[in-house]
Structure 1
Amino acid sequence: MTSDEGVPTPGSGHRRGPVLLRRGQIPTMTADERLLAAPRQGASWLHEDPWRVLRIQSELVEGFGALAEIGPAMSVFGSARVGPDHPEYALAERVGRGLANAGYAVITGGGPGVMEAANKGANQAGGVSVGLGIELPFEQGMNQWVDLGVNFRYFFARKLMFVKYAQGFIVLPGGFGTLDELSEALTLVQTHKVTEFPIVLVGSSYWQGLLDWLGGPVRAHGMIGHLDLDLIRLVDDPDEAVALVVERDAQLRAAEDAAVVEAAAAQRAAGASGDV
């Protein structure tokens, strides 16, 4: 839920798993805040923090179980602060529709704004619409266009799901959360922690300044490599964004299939020559 200025405002309650909390029952700290808070005096944190590992484990297990069979998917990021009458809402809806028509599930943060629009586009096109929600001090709730929703207490567990089950990212204009997700995706690809999946930004008037800064002082100071910006594509047309991620995913799949065939042939040749 958002105010007229687009700033999130308290909603109808706070959800903690299956539990709904309202008014005085709403906690003053999120699970992330409690986890990351500086240790209090004494040693009670020695006994509390290890038990949190079980809660974190349960979130990962639930996420893996819920998303394991969604099929090929793309993650779409963007602001929660745009309404249905905003131009970027329409862009995100076209992105979600295009991805669903191409046979991909659409994964968003499950909230309002760009997330809702992408889920709506996927849902109305008959695709799989996924929302990964997060515990916040205010209640955003899962938007109505999500077919499969998973709520998380911890940001890092949620962010893992965005990456693990997506073959690429399409990023529309957004704030700190969107920048955080974009930075993590770029870092994982740059450091070869994940397959070099495609990352496409939509909206040159919004993103060009960031790319100019990265390609200017950041690269000039040696903070990134000369080829690192090649990891990002910038477009204005949502249909082009969809085409780029779909084409790149197809190239990566073909390369993986070729590598499997080559490895199998090499193994057969080694066996025929008696090397194994």
Structure 2
Amino acid sequence: MNDESRNHPFRDSGQDLVAADKCPDTLQTRAPAYRLAFADQDFLTREDLRPVRLQLELLKPQLIMDERGIETTIVLFGGARIPAPEHRDQAKSKALADLSPYYDEARRFAKIMTERSLGSYGRKGVIVTGGGPGVMEAGNRGAADAGGHSIGLNIVLPHEQAPNAYVSPDLCFNFHYFAIRKMHFLMRAEAIVVFPGGFGTLDEMFEALTLIQTHRMKPVPFLLFGKSWWESVVNWSQLADAGVISPEDLDLFRMVETAEEAISVIDGWKKPC
């Protein structure tokens, strides 16, 4: 117990857990109704408690990152299935194997940005990824190459998603709700970089663009790696020509090919008036 809790007029909840464990084993103390509410998993996972769980998922990473002094992040989105170059022969298709250079670019970008972050003692420009394999692993790996820490925002899924070995363990979070996870991606973002990926990457990219477009989020450098990829996946000009977005919405992002080009855009970026 810390000094603050010793001086608090109410008992520490941890003390109550210890006391509850020492209670006599009776029908009454074994009954679910007798469990302390905050220690009752069956109670906390009831449908009625969803608002509480949403709040807890928002609050836990927030408090931990605040305690670590993390002020701003560099968000890195990208495909979980893109292999590292040394594993490209294990890819399920040649097309997927051909995307492996993006792993290297993500790793180099994260390394350079983390080296810069160390100048603020790891408080600013911290790399944050989804914490999984593929491009996400590359981002966390690049941060580890630089000797810095990085954040992983994992989520419980039936397949694919488990923390990669390069996420800083004390900054490795797990989520149930996609919405809260997305909030933590963007709450501290000073730049967003997006590599080729599937539905998850597209979802994250378009939600972030929508928030900036609608002024619900401050404009930040927004970079898409791989012009040929993105122009083949999304007909950007058709969106503007059809009038479903404004022509100036195409200025919300830039396409780049290399880590150095991305960093140059970030360094030269000026916040719109």
Q: What TM-score, normalized by structure 1, do the two folds share?
A: 0.70
CA distance in 2: counterparts of 1:142 and 1:53, whole angstroms: 26
Find out whether 1:140 has 2:161 as its counterpart.
yes
Alignment match, 1:70: 70
Alignment match, 1:161: 184
Q: Which runs of 5+ in 1 are unaligned?
A: 1-46, 257-276
Q: Give the 5 Å matches for 1:100-115.
A: 100-103=114-117, 104-115=125-136
Alignment match, 2:101: 87
What percentage of aligned pairs have identical amino acids? 40
Displacement of 1:210 after TM fit?
Answer: 4.2
Cα RMSD for the two superposed structures: 1.9
1:86-121: per-residue Cα shift (whole Å, max 9, x none)?
A: 212111101111211232210000000100011110
Aligned partner of residue 254 in structure 2, secondary structure: strand
Equivalences, count:
204
Find out whether 1:191 has 2:214 as its counterpart.
yes
CA distance in 2: counterparts of 1:122 and 1:139, whole angstroms: 22
**What one-letter code is carried by the residue in structure 1 that aligns with 2:105?**
L
- Indicate how the Cα distance of structure 1 residues 206 and 139 shifts in structure 2: closer, same or farther if over 3 A, else same: closer
CA distance in 1: counterparts of 2:264 and 2:128, whole angstroms: 17
Q: Give the 5 Å matches for 1:1-276.
A: 48-68=46-66, 69-85=69-85, 86-103=100-117, 104-138=125-159, 140-147=161-168, 148-210=171-233, 213-216=235-238, 218-248=239-269, 251-252=270-271
Displacement of 1:80 after TM fit?
Answer: 0.5
CA distance in 1: counterparts of 2:50 and 2:115, whole angstroms: 41
Q: Which runs of 5+ in 2 are unaligned?
A: 1-44, 86-99, 118-124
Aligned partner of residue 229 in structure 1, secondary structure: helix
**What one-letter code is carried by the residue in structure 2 that aligns with 1:105?**
V
Displacement of 1:139 after TM fit?
Answer: 5.7
**What one-letter code is carried by the residue in structure 2 that aligns with 1:240?**
E
Aligned partner of residue 150 in structure 1, secondary structure: strand
The runs of at least 4 aligned residues of structure 1 exceeding 6 Å deviation read: none
Q: What TM-score, normalized by structure 2, do the two folds share?
A: 0.70
**What one-letter code is carried by the residue in structure 2 that aligns with 1:94?**
R
- Indicate how the Cα distance of structure 1 residues 66 and 245 shifts in structure 2: closer, same or farther if over 3 A, else same: farther
Aligned partner of residue 189 in structure 2, secondary structure: coil
**What one-letter code is carried by the residue in structure 1 that aligns with 2:181?**
R
Alignment match, 1:262: none
Alignment match, 2:5: none
Aligned partner of residue 230 in structure 1, secondary structure: helix
